[in-house]
Structure 1
Amino acid sequence: MKKVKYRIFLDYDKEERWINDMAEKGWHLEKFAPGRFVFRKGEPGAYIYRLEFVGNLPKEEKEEYVGILEDSGASIVHESFGWIYAKKPADGGPFELYTDAGSKIAYYNRILNTFLILFLVAIGGAGYNFSLARMTDIEAVPIASGVVCALSAFIIGVQMIKISRKKKKLQESFFE
């Protein structure tokens, strides 16, 4: 039996928790597309899921990392937009992708660097569209595009702040 759920997440930790909550109820992630999750009915609590950002890793490093995950008993459910959705049988023990603070901090830095580029592109797009609106007779389209870009920059900025706080908290505990 399959179940399709439509949901948009702006926070990958919340998305991971939700997927694991679904798994606890016996719904195991089978496919993913932005905003669309396909689950298959199975044994409740049989798998633990983790989301991992690998979007800015070189191809060889990504393949090596996926190999390490698979060697640990995990399997890749889906990969989309630089994110890997991995699962591991729950009876195989804990499924932690990072066991030390240093590697987790490096992971946060990878996400922040990618988000920074997206943030700057969105800010640039907003500025360009708002300035274009002042130079043309047709203002509605550039203003609407500028608002979308500004809203995107805001959402990305909020996520960057959240990740920066997690990183700072981890650094403080790591260097104490």
Structure 2
Amino acid sequence: MRKILYRFFVDFEKEEKWVNEMGAQGWHLQKFSFGRFTFTKGEPGTFIYRNEFISGMSSNEKKDYFEFLKDSGISIINELGGWVYMKKAAADGPFEIYTDTKSKIAYYKRMLNIFALLFIINAWMGIANISIFGDKTSFEFVNQSVGVFNIAAALLIAYPIIKIIKSKRLLEKDLQFFE
């Protein structure tokens, strides 16, 4: 049996938790796309799922990384827009992608750079469309609508930025404490 669910997550960790909860109920992730998750019915708790943001890797780096994951018993479900979902058999024990604090901090920094860039682009485009282009063209309504959309997108992107900054600072504090 197949189930398609539509969910929009701003928090990637909550999304991953939800996918694992679905797996615990016997719904195994087969594919994801923007806001759309396809599951098939199976044995509950068979897999542990992880998502990872891998944007910025070259094709060869990605290929090598996926090969490394495969050799570690990890299956790639699919990749979309820099995000990849993977799974590992729960019987094989815990499944964490970043097992040490320094690598997790580096991962958060990479994500923060991308999200900050997206925030800046959307905020700038929103302000530009509302104030600069908004009253000087015959497309005033369109420009202002696009501007409002960009500002809304920037505000949505601000949430994961704040969460990533807090998580990164907490890890950095732990790292200083244990060094």
Fold-level similarity (TM above 0.5):
yes
Q: Provide the residue aligned with 2:173 in structure 1.
A: 172
Check whether the contact 1:76–1:85 (CA below 8 A) recurs between aligned residues.
Answer: yes
Q: Which digits, 9 at most, give the CA deviation of each residue in 1:34-91, with x for residues without a partner?
A: 1111100000000000001001122222222212211110100011110110000000
Moved more, 55-64 or 23-32: 55-64
Check whether the contact 1:30–1:77 (CA below 8 A) recurs between aligned residues.
Answer: yes
Q: Provide the residue aligned with 1:150 in structure 2.
A: 151
Unaligned runs of 5+ in 1: none
How many pairs are equivalent?
176
Give the % identical residues: 45
Normalised to the residue count of structure 2, the TM-score between the two structures is: 0.95
Measured in 2, the distance between the counterparts of 1:34 and 1:107 equals 22
Q: Provide the residue aligned with 1:8 in structure 2.
A: 8
**What SS is found at the alignment partner of 1:52?**
strand
Displacement of 1:139: 2.1
**What SS is found at the alignment partner of 2:88?**
strand
* Residue identity matched to 1:4: I
Check whether the contact 2:10–2:159 (CA below 8 A) recurs between aligned residues.
Answer: no
Cα RMSD (Å) of the superposition? 1.0
Superposed, which structure 2 residues align to 1:1-176 within 5 Å? 1-130=1-130, 131-176=132-177
Normalised to the residue count of structure 1, the TM-score between the two structures is: 0.96
